[in-house]
Structure 1
């Protein structure tokens, strides 16, 4: 039976074999149909995994914010013809804070076998390293961009932390990281715990948890254009 494989990608530059299982190599080497966020970076990653892969023989379907939802079922057509298809994330695990979830949903509706491959999730790795509550947590995606709305949302997150002991996890567009940190330090209570997890699995990985008061004294690192996971607890 042809299968829809969910193949993780690395989170940072470096040897893929240090963070991904060996199973990734045969799956990518034997698959000719790929659903990816960006064709150029996907092609480059395939060559890193196996230089012998003939990229010209591969078919790529792009799934991102510009993709028409009506096109998604077509991406799974090779499976009906007996060919495996691999969803390859731009970074981390497909379907987790990732547009791949939409095509996986359709696969289940069509009765297609879905196989997730073990790989790094920046969200879970950050939670593991934060020291915050891993029994009750929520990933909020992006916080509002407008300052007043953002402050209100941060206040709501703090209420949830206090009432439910629920760790709050979120991200930001890399070029707005520093502004987000500034807003958090201005808006949140001094005792609230704040974790900054940047460049996870990279050589310059930075993960630290401090109270808001401690961050104000120590100063936050420059996070401009870096991949970062933020946690409040």
Structure 2
């Protein structure tokens, strides 16, 4: 009989055990502490996460394997092999919920194909937290990942997303590399219609958490929060 693949949420930024306890329910931490096999994007940071969780066995006795953007698809079955042999495992992302905008989705898909039970646990998702706090449409929304880096291509994509939002009354959500956050906000303010709502959610669940929703016109009139090198989620809703 195969083991179970548990999807273990992580924190959305650096923090100690107290910070982890703030965002992960007790049953999640208990299950995370009991597992002897982990799959994560980075072995070092996965072990740091386990240290904060407080494991039932010494961390050096816990097997940790990596699954990231550099993992060949052919290696997915190798990661799944201990689970098929009966070992319960935890899948953990660098931040937030595993398998959401995360390479762990490949492992979860393969687990279903091989008949492995998959159990998702409750934890912070920056995408959903930003949507909840934005005041935008939570009935219809789309996550678009990263937008083009090139300024003209990014502006074109933003126009497309704004048109889609207006036509479908759908919230559009996307992210950016932290050091390009300001360029993204500037592009939104410059390219969107004055009445389009723009939300920037920064450092979610962290001490510096800042969430601001304004029309594009109001963003032009008021100061923006400091965004440089801070994890951020961007949302827009056109009327």
TM-score normalised by length of structure 2: 0.94
Q: Secondary structure at the match of 2:174?
A: strand
Q: Secondary structure at the match of 2:233?
A: strand
User: Where do 5+ consecutive residues of structure 1 fail to align?
Assistant: none
Alignment partner of 1:211 is 2:212 = no
User: How far did 1:55 drift?
Assistant: 1.6
* Distance in 1, Cα, partners of 2:57 & 2:97: 22
Aligned residue in 1 for 2:9 = 8
Aligned residue in 2 for 1:23 = 27
Aligned residue in 2 for 1:227 = 231
User: How far did 1:53 drift?
Assistant: 3.9
* Distance in 2, Cα, partners of 1:110 & 1:10: 29
* Distance in 2, Cα, partners of 1:153 & 1:53: 49
Q: How many residue pairs get matched?
A: 233
Alignment partner of 1:187 is 2:191 = yes
Deviation track 1:164-204 (CA, whole Å, cap 9, x = no partner) reads 11000000011111111111111111111000000001111
* 8 A contact 1:46–1:53 mirrored in 2: no
* 8 A contact 1:38–1:90 mirrored in 2: yes
Aligned residue in 2 for 1:116 = 120
User: How far did 1:37 drift?
Assistant: 0.7
Once the two structures are superposed, the pairs formed by residues 29-48 of structure 1 within 5 Å of their partners are: 29-48=33-52
Once the two structures are superposed, the pairs formed by residues 157-172 of structure 1 within 5 Å of their partners are: 157-172=161-176
Q: Secondary structure at the match of 1:177?
A: helix
User: How far did 1:29 drift?
Assistant: 2.1
Alignment partner of 1:101 is 2:76 = no
Alignment partner of 1:137 is 2:141 = yes
* 8 A contact 1:5–1:84 mirrored in 2: yes
Q: Secondary structure at the match of 2:142?
A: strand
Deviation track 1:15-54 (CA, whole Å, cap 9, x = no partner) reads 2111111112222222111110111111111011106541
* 8 A contact 2:38–2:91 mirrored in 1: yes
Deviation track 1:133-153 (CA, whole Å, cap 9, x = no partner) reads 000100000111111111111
Which stretches of structure 1, 4 residues or longer, exceed 6 Å deviation after superposition? Answer: none
